[in-house]
Structure 1
Amino acid sequence: MDAKLTTEAHNAQTGAQLLAGGLKALEISRVFALCGDQVNAIFNALSQVGIEVVGTRHETAAVHMADAWARATGEVGVAIVTGGPGHTNAVTGLAVAHGAGSPVIVISGQAPIDKRDRGGTQVLHQQQIVEPVTKFAREVTDVRLVPEMLYRAYMAAVSPTPGPVSLSFPVDVFNARASGYEASFEPHPRKSNFAKIRSVSHDLEGVRSLLSSAKAPVAIVGSGAHWDSGAEHMQSSLKSLGIPLFTVELARGLVPDDGEVCFGYADPRFNKTFRAVEHADLVLLVGTSFDFHTLFGKPPLFQSNAKIIQIVDDPLRSSVCRPSDVVICGNIGKILLELGDLVEDLRQPATEAWIASLRELHASSQSDWKDIAKGFAPSEGVHPLQICRSLARHFTSRTGMTVDVGDFVHWPRTYFPALQRGHLMDGSVMGTLGAALPQAIGMQLAFPGDPIVAFMGDGGFAQASWELSTAVENNLPIKLVVGNDSAWGVELRLQEAEFGESVQCLLPTHRLDRFAELVGAKGIHVESENDLDAAVDELMAAKVPCLLDVKIPRRCGRPMSDIAIPM
C-alpha cells in the first residue's frame, strides 16, 4: 500500500470523533445520554474531547434534561440515545421541546446500513418517525457528511424560531473513518452571528400610532423574547413601553411578576388579573401568538375589535388564530429598543387609570387565597395550598420551579410568582406527565447555586422516578414535592363529573419517601398540616436530593376552576 495513503488512513477520524469534535467546536460542554450498543463509540469520543456525559435512566428523561438545560441557559441542549426503541423513547421529549420551542439536538444511533430491510435488529427509518416533532431531521449515512450535518442541525435548532432537531447515525458511520475536504468542515457558529431581519422605521410608526390612541393596552410576552440574543436587556425595554405586561411559557420571569408593571401569567386559568384583558382595546404580542393559554385570542376573553400588534422573529408565527393589524418581524430586542424611544411620553390619563385598576385587581386576587383550603377533614391530608404557603417562607427570586401535570401542580403554578428568567418550567403545551423531575435535574445543572423545586403528583412521579437516582449520582440537591392522593386525580374528577363514576383512576398508596431512600436520596413523609412546616424546613435545608411525600385530599381539584379549559 502507498505510504501516503496509509498515513492518511491512520490520521483520518472516525464518524464518532468527527461528531464529538464538532460538538466541542460548537461549545457544547455537557450532554445528557443513555448508553446503548449503537452509541458506545460516541460516548468514548466525547470522553476524549472533554465533554461531560450525564447518564440517565430513560431516553425521554435525557431529552427533558437537555431541554431544561437549553431553556435555563439559552444554549443548545444535546441528548444522545441509542437507535430503535431508544430513538422512539426519545420522541416524547422531542415533542415537549417542540411545543416549548427549545433548541435541542437529539443524536440517535441507528442499525447498520447494510442491515436495513434485511431482517436486522432495531431497524427503523428514524427520520420519518421524528419529522412531525422536529424542525430538522436527517439520517447521516456517509461519514464525510458528519460535520456538515451537525452544523446544519445546530443552525436549524437556533434560528429563526428555536426548536428541536434530530440526527440519526448508523453505527457503521460512527465507526468509519473519513479525511479530505468534507471531513475537515469546521462549523463555528456563534450567537452573535445569528443576524435577523432588522426592523423598519415606518412599521414602528404604525405601532406608535396605535399605541398613542389606545386607552387600555396590554402586552403579552412569550418564548420568542426569552430566546432573543438581547434578552438580558428585555426587561428594561418592555418596561419602557409603559403598558401593563403579562408573560407566558418561557418568558415567565423575564420581567418579574411585581404587580406594578408585570401582572403574571397570561392565562386566565391561573391568573384572575389576566381575565381583565376582556377590556383591553389593544394587545401587543411580543415573541408569541394566540394559542391555548390565551383561549386562542377570541371573545369573550378578547374583544373582537381590539387592535393586535405582533413583534415576532419568525413570520410563520404571525396572525395565528386571528389576524394582526400590524406585524413586525425581526430581532425582538432591537425592535423593542427602537419602539421604546418612539413611544416615550405617549401614555394617556386613561391608560394610567387602566394600569391602576390592574394593580388593584392584582392585589385583591392575592387575598382570595385565604379561605380556599377550608372544608377538608384533617384525616384527608394536607391541602396543596397549605403546602405552597409553607414553601413560600423559603422561596426567593433565585428559587427555580418545575411543574408537572395534574391538578396538584396547578396550585404552585398559580400561587408562586415568576421572578427570574429561566427559573420556571413545565411540559409545554404537550402537558407531558413525568417531565418535572428530569427538568429539575437540567435546571439544577444550569444553576448549581440555586434551590430547585419540582412539583409532581404520585402518578407523574412514577413515570420518571428512577431519575431521582440520576440526581443522587450527580450530587444534585433538587427538592421534589409530591402531592400523593393515590389516584389519577384529574381523570378521577373529570370522569365522576361526566359519568358519575370512575374507571381505573385509583392507585395503590405508596410511601414515596421510602423509594427516595432506596436510591440514596433523603425522604420525608407528611400526612398532617401540623407537621408540614418542619418537614418543609428539612426539605429546603437538605444538601442532597430530597423528596417530600405529602398526603393530599383526593378532590382538591385545581385553583380557579370556574373557567372552562378549551381543548
Structure 2
Amino acid sequence: MALTGSDLVARALQKEDVDTFFYIMGAPMLSVESAALALGLRGVDVRHEQAAAMAAHAYARLLNRPGVCMAASGPGTTNLITGVAHAFADCTPVVALGGSSPESQSHKGTFQEIDQLAMLAPCTKWSDRVHRPERIPELLDRAIREAMSGKPGPVYLDLPADVLFAEVDEERVEWPAPWDPAGRPRPAAAPAEVRALTDLLAEAERPVVVSGTGVLWSEAEAELQTFVEAAGIPFYTTPQGRGAIPEDHELCYLTARSTAFREADLILIVGTRMNYIIGHASPPRFGADAKIARIDISAEEIATSPRRLDVGVVADARTALTQLTGAIRSRVTRKNFAAWRDRLAEQNRSKLAEHERTLADDAVPIHPLRLCRELRDFMDREAILCVDGQEILNYGRQVIPTYVPRHRLNSGTFGTMGVGLPLGVGAKVACPDRPVIVLHGDGSFGMNAMEFDTAVRCELPILVVISLNGGWTGDPGKERPGRELGYTRFDKMAEALGGYGEYVEKPDDIRPALERAMAEVDSGRPALVNVVTDWRARATTAAFTEYVT
C-alpha cells in the first residue's frame, strides 16, 4: 500500500500518542492536517501561528508531555518563531512542524522559499529537515525524544512540500518504538554527592530550598514536599514552578522571601536555572557567604553556574530528592531549623497584615492590587491561572497564590507579551474539567485578542479578566513614549465574537461581575471582564533584573 509523506506524519503522530495539535490551515500542511483529523486527532485552529506554539506550550506544561503545533510554509512557519522562542526560554517541549517549499525547487526562488531551518535552529533544542518520506516516523520520534530528554525544550521539523506529497510503499517504512514517558532515564546522585549534600544541611542554620519547573518535569513535587517536611526547610519556587507544594503550606513564607534569600546560609537549588529570575543566586539578593548546592538534570547547567557551587549534582530531581530524604534521617530533623522558621514566620505574619490592608484599597480608578485580591478570593483552589502583562503580572505575582502543580502559567523567562490568551486556550484543551482564568494587561491582550474567537469557535469556556489601565504600563509621570492605548471596550469585542462581556469601574462591582461571568463559563461560554484600573499604579517590589523593557 502506498502512503504519502503527509499520511506518514499523521500516523507517526498517532503512534507517538499525540492526540491534539494547534495549527492554522495552509499548504503544504493541509494534507497532513486532513490525515491527522481523519485519524481522530483533535486540531485546534487558532488565529495566529504564534498562538499555536503558545497554546502547545500550555498543553505541554499541564500534561507533562509534548505539545504539537503546525504551520504552513514561509510566513506561516516564521510566525511560529516567537512562540517557539518562548518555549525555548521556558524549557518546554513544544514540537513544531513547519511545511516548506519543495526541495526540488531549492534556490530557484519558488513560492515562500526561505531557510526556515536556519531561522528556527537558534531557538530550539534540536531541528532537522526531512529529505525522504520513509524517514518521517524515525525523525518525528527523534524530535519527541529530544524535546523530552534531559532539560526539556522545543524542537522543529521542516517538511518540504515534495516530501509530503511523495508516495512510498508502506513496507519500506520502519516504525520505531514510540517514546514512553515511563522509560525515561532518571540518573541518581552519586553516594559521595549525597553525603556532601547531607553534610551541608547538617552544618547549616538557615537553609532555603529554591525549586523550579525541573521539579515539575521530573514529576517530583511529592518528593520535594516529603523532603522539606522531613528537614523542616523553608521553600520557595520560581514563578514558573509555583504550586509544586501548595503555597499555604506551613513551610512557605511568601512575604518573607527577601529576608529568607538574604539571610540564608545554605541555598539548595533544585531543578531551576541560576538566571536573572533568582538574581543568579548572588549578592545582593543572596548572601555572599552562603553555601550553594544545586541539583539539575543538565550537566551543562551545573557546569555553567554563574556562582561557584559548593556541591553540584547532575541527577533527576525525583531520584535525588528521594535519596536525600533517606540520607538526612539520622542527621537533620525539623528541630535543626526551628529558630529560622520562627523568624520567617513572624516576619511573614507581620507583613501579611500590612499587605492585606493595602489590598483593600477602595480608590477609583481601581488599583490593580485590589483587582488581584478580588480574583484571588474568587478563584477555585484548583483553577489554572495564566497571567500576562506588565504591571498586572507583577501585582498578580505578589497577591495570587498557587496550590496545584503546573497550574500557574505566565509571560515566562523570555518576558513574552501576548501569551496569556493562547496559554488559556491550550490549558483548557489540556484540562477541560478545570476552570481556566486568564489575567491580562490590556496591552498584552491586544496582541492575541482574536484567540478569544478561537475559544468561542472551539467551545473552550475560559474566563478572561483584563486590567484596563489604558496603556502598555503604569506611567504616573506620563513620561513613556507610545504608552497610551486608550480604554478599549474589550467586553464589547467579546460579545461581538459570541462570548459574554462585563465592564467594571468600581471596586465593589468586581466580585459580582466575576460571578456572573463564571456562571456563563460554567454554561459553556467564554467570558471577559474588562476592569478599568489606575494608570498611575506601578509595581514596587524588587525587580527580577536591572534590565527591563
Q: TM-score, normalised by structure 2?
A: 0.94
Does 1:124 find its partner at 2:122? no
Counting only pairs closer than 5 Å after superposition, residues 295-444 of structure 1 correspond to structure 2 as: 295-318=279-302, 319-344=304-329, 346-347=332-333, 349=335, 351-372=337-358, 378=364, 381-444=365-428
Deviation at 1:457, TM superposition (A): 1.2
Q: Which amino acid aligns with 2:532?
A: K
Quote how far apart the aligned CAs of 1:295 are. Answer: 1.1
Could you tell me which residue of structure 2 aligns to residue 528 of structure 1?
506
2:153 aligned residue (163, 169, 185): 163
Q: Counterpart in 1 of 2:243?
A: 253
> Match for 1:336: what amino acid?
L
Distance in 2 (alpha carbons) for counterparts of 1:461 and 1:229: 32
Q: Distance in 2 between matches of 1:533 and 1:197?
A: 48
**Does 228-237 or 34-43 show the bigger shift?**
228-237
Deviations 1:213-235 (A, max 9, x none): 00000000111111014545443
CA contact (8 A) 2:210 2:268 kept: yes
Residues 376 and 553, structure 1, Cα contact 8 Å, conserved in 2:
no
1:452 to 436, 450, 456: 436
Q: Which residue of 2 aligns with 1:5?
A: none
Change (3 A) 1:484 1:142: same
Deviations 1:1-56 (A, max 9, x none): xxxxxxxxxx1211111111111111111111111121101011101221110110
Query: Counterparts of 1:374 and 1:24 in 2: how far apart (Å)?
Result: 51
Equivalence map 1:179-194=2 (5 Å)? 179=169, 183-194=173-184
SS in 1 for 2:267: strand
State the shift of 1:154 in Å: 0.8
Shift of 1:185: 2.5
Distance, in Å, in 1 between the alignment partners of 2:247 and 2:527 is 28
Q: Distance in 2 between matches of 1:261 and 1:200?
A: 28
d(CA) in 1 for partners of 2:518, 2:375? 8
**In the alignment, what sits opposite 1:200?**
190
Percent identical residues: 28
> Counterpart in 2 of 1:485?
469
- The aligned amino acid for 1:113 is E
Matches within 5 A, 1:288-299: 288-299=272-283
User: Does 2:231 correspond to 1:241?
Assistant: yes
Q: Deviation per CA, 1:176-223, whole angstroms, max 9, x where unpaired?
A: 112367622333120121113232112101111111000000000111
- Contact 1:259–1:359 at 8 Å: present in 2 too? no
Q: Please, which moves more after superposition, 362-371 or 77-86?
A: 362-371
Does the 8 Å CA contact 1:288/1:312 hold for their aligned counterparts? Answer: yes
Q: 1:530 to 1:244 in 2, by over 3 A?
A: closer
Cα pair 1:309 1:326 within 8 Å, conserved: yes
The corresponding residue for 1:566 is 546
Structure 1 residue 364: Cα displacement: 2.3
Alpha-carbon distance between aligned partners in 2 of 1:450 and 1:397, rounded to the nearest angstrom: 10
C-alpha distance in 2 between matches for 1:314 and 1:347: 29
Which residue, 540, 544, 548 being the options, matches 2:518? 540
How far apart are the structure 2 equivalents of 1:141 and 1:322? 44
Name the CA distance, whole Å, in 1 between partners of 2:280 and 2:468. 33
1:508–1:226 CA distance, 2 compared to 1 (3 A): same
Partner of 2:91: 101
1:434 maps to a residue whose letter is: G
Query: Could you give the per-residue CA deviations for residues 414-457 of structure 1, whole angstroms, max 9, x where no partner exists?
Result: 10111001110012111111101010111112221221111111
**Residues 239, 377 of structure 1: CA spacing in aligned structure 2 closer, same or farther, 3 A cutoff?**
closer
User: Which runs of no fewer than 5 residues in structure 2 stay unpaired?
Assistant: none
CA contact (8 A) 2:504 2:529 kept: yes
1:38 is aligned to: 28
- In structure 1, the residue matched to 2:538 is 557
1-structure distance, mates of 2:289, 2:228: 24
Q: In structure 2, what is the Cα distance between the partners aligned to 1:23 and 1:249?
A: 32
Superposed CA RMSD in Å reads: 1.9
SS in structure 1 of the partner of residue 276 of structure 2: coil
Q: Secondary structure at the match of 1:542?
A: helix
- State the aligned residue count: 542
TM superposition shift of 1:508: 2.7
| Structure 2 Cα separation of the partners of residues 296 and 232 of structure 1 | 26
Contact 2:89 2:414 in 1 (8 A): yes
- Matched residues in 2 for 1:230 and 1:510: separation? 43
Aligned counterpart in structure 2 of residue 55 of structure 1, from 40, 45, 55: 45
The residue that corresponds to 1:22 in the other structure is: 12
Amino acid at match of 2:344: L
Amino acid at match of 1:514: K
Aligned equivalents of 1:368, 1:447: Cα separation in 2 = 36
Other-structure match for 1:79: 69
Cα distance in 2, alignment partners of residues 237 and 305 from structure 1: 24
Distance verdict in 2 for CA 1:310–1:44, change over 3 Å: same
1:257 is paired with a residue whose SS is coil
Name which of 428, 448, 459 aligns with 1:475. 459
Partner secondary structure for residue 429 of structure 1: coil
Structure 1 residues 362 and 34, CA gap change in structure 2 (3 angstroms)? same
Structure 1, unaligned stretches of length 5 or more? 1-10, 265-270
Relative to structure 1, the CA distance from residue 175 to residue 430 in structure 2 (aligned partners, 3 Å threshold; closer, same or farther) is same
Report the Cα offset of residue 240 of structure 1.
2.8
Distance 1:274 1:226, change over 3 A: farther
